[in-house]
Amino acid sequence: MISDPIHSNSPQNNPWMIAAYRTARAMEIFCVIMLAILLANSIRARINDPNNPVKLENLLVQLSQNPKDENLKKEIRNLDVTIRKNYFRSQFIAKYGLCLLIGALVVYLLCLEYLRSGNKTTPLPNVNIAKEPWLNPALSRRSIYVLGGIMGGVLLSLIVLSRHDVTYAYIHNDLFTVSNTASAPASPPPPMVQQLASAPATVPTAPTAATAPTPSNALANANTAAGTPLLGTAANTASSTPALRPVTPTAITPISPNVQTGVPTPSAAASNDSAASIATAYPSSWSNQWNMFRGPSGTGICTLSDIPLQWDGTQNQNILWKAPIPLPGWSSPIVWKDNIFFTGGDKTQRLVYCYSLSYGSINWQYKVHVKGCNTVPQVGDDTGFAAQTMATDGKRVYAIFPTGELVCLDFTGKPLWLKFLGTPDNEYGMAASLLLCEGKLIVQSDQGSDSTDKKSSIMAFDGKTGKQLWRTPRPVGSSWATPIAIKVNGKTEIITAGNPWVISYDPATGKEIWRCECLGGEVAPSPIFSGPFVVVSNQGANIVAIRPTGKGDITKTGIAWMGMDGLPDIVSPLSDGKRVYLFTTQGQITCYDTMTGKELWTHQMADNIKASPTLVGNSIYLLDTKGVMHILAAGDQFNETGKNPVGERTYSSPAYVDNKIIIRGEKDLFCIGK
């Protein structure tokens, strides 16, 4: 035990000193006893560990062979009670025992402190000390050499012992970060070789192996040269495994993203048919409006330039007006000329609102009730009864509700046609918004727990009459992602995301064009397009870039790259043509390079995000749940250029129109502008 000065210098006549001395001795004994108790306790806790009840498990195995044995059951129950009792008792003892021990130690130290104040000894000078340090710089150096030698030796022998770890071929087979751009289709260089050359040479022989003509040879050389026979056999089996599958050499000529004009570029499509030319599919008359979820393109691209940059809702700065919203809802506002439309609802009623963009006053409201709709489905609080965003084509406005009610109104609030689609079966409530495409109203209705329920479908309605034009069943369960319409090589397609299929439909007939099995989980983020790829992502799956050129199931052939970081769960991704940005609800932003799939950067925002972002010019407008609009510069690194609060919590995606932004807050509608 600790040898303390009080043994050598016993206190003299001061009664306090004597008391302190005795207390210190008592505490010393107490500490030793307490330590012994705690040690015994911890050993006993290890024997009676409910996390690893060996004895109990054995009895349970016996019982499974002999399920009727009542005595055995009794024994199990008794043992179980004993284990639990001992477990919680030992925790109690450990907790309070340690507290007591520390308390005693503190008292002990304080006593020593007091005793020391009365006992002062001054050592006598020791002349030999002066010689000590200078006797041994050489000795110090020698012992440092020894330490370095030992350390280096241990490290080197570990390296030698673990050298077989060095040859894992996957290091050289880095499929997803290797750029697959600009390789001419006529003579594609063997991709494995390219990668071997570009990967850092952990195997010293790899660069020489890189000169081998074919991928499999190169790999075999790399492995045999490393002298590991085991891996030689591995390389033979390797060519058939996905781990070593070389990249299919696909020629992709990077085309300039065509989001600004909204007009497809047929020349790019004609010059190279393996790279898709993707463009938005909306008519030019929509380009000044915000007529659907995430704007006319459905991908969160605003082509206008004069969008407000600065405001502050708390100071009433650059807020044109603020109008209360009577009923809650998560649906985003849409704007056509001077009309703002959005929905609100609760268990008892659902309404369509039309507000004036100039004044913020309410033009009209329409209470929805469609014949046949008598049951209100159970929906989550976080989805609510007005989650789906409306759509308008400039003549009529369309609204859909989680109750299955679909309504079409004119701009004065007069109903043109009403439809009941049946009460949806969706555990959180429906959330996919409406899509307008080539004059048709597209409703993606994914329901049921999985595809075996056969409840999901996609439908097209004639906007004018409400007649159902086509209905295609979908092989997926519930999803919450809004479809988008794009032009691939000049031909319009509807892209839908579900679990597990991403499917493209022909809007004219509803026939499936291609499908790709690459999603999972509860799919809520919408698909987007970026460069020549359709990009989908969801938490529980991956971010996947798909070449939308094939027909039928393109899972094996159509995936250009994948990534797994920063996957969104609600917020839709955004692309500026060169990069794809992902946003999680927790506020993590991850940026990928469109062409290569390389992760460029990630950034953690301070707040949650629910609203989907919008690209305005070269700026990303990102609204967090605290109502702060973050303005980020699109680019190869995170760069926040502005931060504008509205002073209210926000969950919906804002609408961007000429000189104004419409933000739906929890209670109020804000119009931002000068």
Partner 1 sequence: MFQKFTPPFFLLQITTPPQKNPPPDFTTGYQYPVTINPPPRAELFTRIDMVMLAVLMLMTAYFILYKRSRREVRLISLFSLLYFGFYRHGCVCSVGSLQNVAMAIFHNGYALPLSVGVFFILPLLFALFFGRVFCAAVCPLGAAQDLILQKARRVPVWMDETLSVIPYIYLGLGTLFAATGTVFIICEYDPFVAFFRLSGGAMMVTFGILILFLSTFIGRPYCRYLCPYGVLLRWAAAWSKWKVHVAPEKCIQCHLCAESCPFNAMRMPVPDEVRPSRKSTRAVLSRVLWLIPFLAILGGVTGRLASPLLSHVDITVQTADRVWKERHGLVHGETLESQAHRANQIPDDLLYAKAAKIRRTYTLYTTIFGVWLGLVFGLKLFFITTRHRWDDYDADPAACLACGRCFGYCPSEANEKYAEGGVYIKGNLK
Partner 2 sequence: MAAAENKKTRREFIADGIRTGGLIIASGAIGALAASSHAEDTVWQIDPYKCTNCGLCATSCVLDQSTVKCMHAFAMCGYCNLCSGMLRPERVGNTIEAENVQCPTFAIQRSYVENPYFQYVIDENLCIGCAKCSKGCDAFGNGSLFMQIRHDRCLNCNQCSIAEVCPAQAIVRVPAGKPYLLKSKIKQDG
Among residues 9, 86, 177, 363, the one that binds partner 1 under rule CB under 8 A: 177
Whether 474 contacts 496, CB under 8 Å = yes
Q: Which helix (H) or strand (E) holds 631?
A: strand 628-633
Residue 60 touching partner 1 (CB under 8 A): no
Nearer to partner 1, 18 or 150 (CB): 150
**Measured distance CA(438)–CA(494) in Å, rounded:** 10
Residue 277 touching partner 1 (CB under 8 A): no
Residues between 154 and 173 that touch partner 1 (CB under 8 A): 155-156, 158-159, 162, 165-166, 168-171, 173
- Token pair listed for 170: 């996957």
Residue 130 touching partner 1 (CB under 8 A): yes
* 3-state DSSP of 519-574: CCCCCCCCCEEECCEEEEECCCCCEEEECCCCCEECCCCCEEEEECCCCCCCCCCE
Q: How far is the CB of 71 from partner 2 (least distance, A)?
A: 12
Q: State the distance between the two ends of the chain, measured CA to CA, in whole angstroms.
A: 79
Q: How far is the CB of 592 from partner 1 (least distance, A)?
A: 13
Q: What distance lies between CA 668 and its chain's CA centroid?
A: 29
**Measured distance CA(16)–CA(578) in Å, rounded:** 81
Residue 65 touching partner 1 (CB under 8 A): no
Block residue for tokens 């969801």: 538
Considering only CA atoms, which of 76, 45, 41, 71 is closest in space to residue 58? Answer: 76
Phi and psi at residue 532, to the nearest 5°: -90, 10
**Residue 388 partner contact from partner 1, partner 2, none using kind-dependent CB cut-offs of 5 to 8 Å:** partner 2
Considering only CA atoms, which of 576, 577, 573, 611 is closest in space to residue 589? Answer: 573
**Residue 242 partner contact from partner 1, partner 2, none using kind-dependent CB cut-offs of 5 to 8 Å:** partner 1
- Token pair listed for 42: 């911890």
* Interface ranges with partner 2 (CB under 8 A): 45, 50-53, 60, 63-64, 67, 73, 76-77, 79-81, 83-84, 87, 91, 94-95, 293, 330-332, 380, 382-384, 387-389, 427-429, 431-433, 480-482, 521-526, 539-540, 569-572, 585-587, 604-608, 610, 612, 651-653
**Residue 612 partner contact from partner 2, partner 1, none using kind-dependent CB cut-offs of 5 to 8 Å:** partner 2
Considering only CA atoms, which of 360, 264, 367 is closest in space to residue 319? Answer: 360
Q: How far is the CB of 255 from partner 2 (least distance, A)?
A: 28
Phi and psi at residue 312, to the nearest 5°: -155, 105
Orientation of helix 70-118 relative to helix 15-47, angle to 10°: 160
Cα–Cα–Cα angle for 322, 328, 333, rounded to 5 degrees: 55
Q: By CB under 8 A, how many residues form the interface with partner 1? A: 90
Nearer to partner 1, 204 or 283 (CB): 204
Q: How far is the CB of 506 from partner 2 (least distance, A)?
A: 24
Nearer to partner 1, 14 or 509 (CB): 14
Nearer to partner 1, 53 or 97 (CB): 97
Nearer to partner 2, 277 or 482 (CB): 482
Q: How far is the CB of 137 from partner 2 (least distance, A)?
A: 24
Cα–Cα–Cα angle for 21, 24, 25, rounded to 5 degrees: 90
Q: How far is the CB of 524 from partner 2 (least distance, A)?
A: 3
Considering only CA atoms, which of 358, 336, 343, 345 is closest in space to residue 292? Answer: 336
Residue 657 touching partner 1 (CB under 8 A): no
**Residue 651 partner contact from partner 2, partner 1, none using kind-dependent CB cut-offs of 5 to 8 Å:** partner 2
- Token pair listed for 346: 């609760």
Overall size of the chain counted in residues? 674
**Residue 271 partner contact from partner 2, partner 1, none using kind-dependent CB cut-offs of 5 to 8 Å:** none
Q: How far is the CB of 129 from partner 1 (least distance, A)?
A: 5
**Residue 18 partner contact from partner 2, partner 1, none using kind-dependent CB cut-offs of 5 to 8 Å:** none
**Residue 489 partner contact from partner 2, partner 1, none using kind-dependent CB cut-offs of 5 to 8 Å:** none
Block residue for tokens 């405001």: 311
Q: How far is the CB of 18 from partner 2 (least distance, A)?
A: 40
Residue 237 touching partner 1 (CB under 8 A): yes
- Sign for the pseudo-dihedral over CA of 177, 183, 185, 187: negative
Nearer to partner 1, 267 or 637 (CB): 637
Residue 95 touching partner 1 (CB under 8 A): yes
Residues between 430 and 489 that touch partner 1 (CB under 8 A): 449
Q: Where are the beta strands (DSSP E) in 146-226?
A: none
Nearer to partner 2, 384 or 477 (CB): 384
Q: Is 342 helix (H, G, I), strand (E, B) or coil?
A: strand
Tell me the window of 14-22, 148-156, 265-273, 656-664 that interacts with partner 1 (CB under 8 A).
Answer: 148-156
Considering only CA atoms, which of 658, 673, 568 is closest in space to residue 613? Answer: 568
Among residues 33, 78, 148, 214, the one that binds partner 1 under rule CB under 8 A: 148
Considering only CA atoms, which of 437, 438, 442, 428 is closest in space to residue 400? Answer: 442
Residue 33 touching partner 1 (CB under 8 A): no
**Residue 522 partner contact from partner 2, partner 1, none using kind-dependent CB cut-offs of 5 to 8 Å:** partner 2
Q: How far is the CB of 667 from partner 2 (least distance, A)?
A: 17
Fill in the per-residue mask, 564 to 583: x = in contact with partner 1 (CB under 8 A), - = not in contact: x-------------------
Q: Is 636 helix (H, G, I), strand (E, B) or coil?
A: coil
Which residues partner with 342 through β-bridges? 353
- Sign for the pseudo-dihedral over CA of 239, 244, 245, 251: negative
Strand 528-530's sheet: what is its strand order? Answer: 528-530, 533-537, 543-546, 559-563
**Residue 278 partner contact from partner 1, partner 2, none using kind-dependent CB cut-offs of 5 to 8 Å:** none
Nearer to partner 1, 455 or 664 (CB): 455
- Sign for the pseudo-dihedral over CA of 220, 222, 225, 230: negative
Q: How far is the CB of 540 from partner 2 (least distance, A)?
A: 6
Residue 186 touching partner 1 (CB under 8 A): no
**Residue 135 partner contact from partner 1, partner 2, none using kind-dependent CB cut-offs of 5 to 8 Å:** partner 1
**Residue 84 partner contact from partner 1, partner 2, none using kind-dependent CB cut-offs of 5 to 8 Å:** partner 2
**Residue 22 partner contact from partner 2, partner 1, none using kind-dependent CB cut-offs of 5 to 8 Å:** none
Nearer to partner 2, 589 or 661 (CB): 589
**Residue 129 partner contact from partner 1, partner 2, none using kind-dependent CB cut-offs of 5 to 8 Å:** partner 1
**Residue 99 partner contact from partner 1, partner 2, none using kind-dependent CB cut-offs of 5 to 8 Å:** partner 1
Q: Is 12 helix (H, G, I), strand (E, B) or coil?
A: coil
Tell me the window of 152-160, 252-260, 261-269, 641-649 that interacts with partner 1 (CB under 8 A).
Answer: 152-160
**Measured distance CA(608)–CA(588) in Å, rounded:** 9
- Token pair listed for 555: 């899972």
**Residue 520 partner contact from partner 2, partner 1, none using kind-dependent CB cut-offs of 5 to 8 Å:** partner 1
Which residues partner with 289 through β-bridges? none
In this structure, how many other beta carbons lie within 10 angstroms of the beta carbon of residue 106? 11
Q: Where are the beta strands (DSSP E) in 411-505?
A: 415-420, 435-437, 440-445, 457-462, 468-473, 484-488, 491-497, 501-505
